[in-house]
Amino acid sequence: MKELSCFQISKSKIRSHTISQLLAFNQKTDVYDLCLTNADVKALIVTQENALTQNGRYEFGTGIIMKIVFAFCDSPYLTQENYAETIHDLIEIFYHFKNDTLDAIDDDTLIELMKTYFDEVCEGSLELLKMKDLETMAQNLRKEKSDFKTVRNAHHWYEWEEWND
């Protein structure tokens, strides 16, 4: 019989705890008509593990999933039909930009910026969030611009560019 390492046992306990937390959080998201199933939650954990691997990152726990769900559940652009899929994409975007910003932004700030851009600038477009607004923010941050959070002017420039095409 194969023995389980302490790491595997801990990982299993963390997964079980995360599943319980996210399923319990459905009581709060119900007011927005959003609900994650047990299968959705397990798939979100797999998405997080894959995103961590793809970005060469290690993380103990799955608190980021909970933080993203909590931050985005009141978005006017989420519906039950796109809820789980959007959370998957946001997890991937989060870890991509943690690397892209060289970890210069703490987790909570990055999630807050993602939420603000998603709702107020990108109007629910994950493509705009990832390819334009967060990318502009990351470039500004890498260039050590103090106003790295400001992408509104850049976003309006994109609209102007698309309108002129």
Q: What count of Cα atoms within 13 Å lies in the side-chain half-sphere of residue 117?
A: 31
The predicted structure's pLDDT at residue 30: 96
Closest CA to 83 of 92, 73, 93: 73
56 φ/ψ angles, rounded to the nearest 5 degrees: 65, 35
| CB 113, CB 149: distance < 8 Å | yes
pLDDT of res. 12: 79
Rounded to two decimals, the pTM is 0.82
Contact (CB, 8 A) for 66 and 18:
yes
Cα separation, 153 vs 165, whole angstroms? 18
How do the pLDDT tens digits run along the chain, 165 residues long?
A: 455 565 555 777 888 988 999 999 999 999 999 999 999 999 999 999 999 999 989 887 778 999 999 999 999 999 999 999 999 999 999 999 999 888 888 999 999 999 999 999 899 999 999 888 788 888 877 777 655 565 544 444 344 344 334
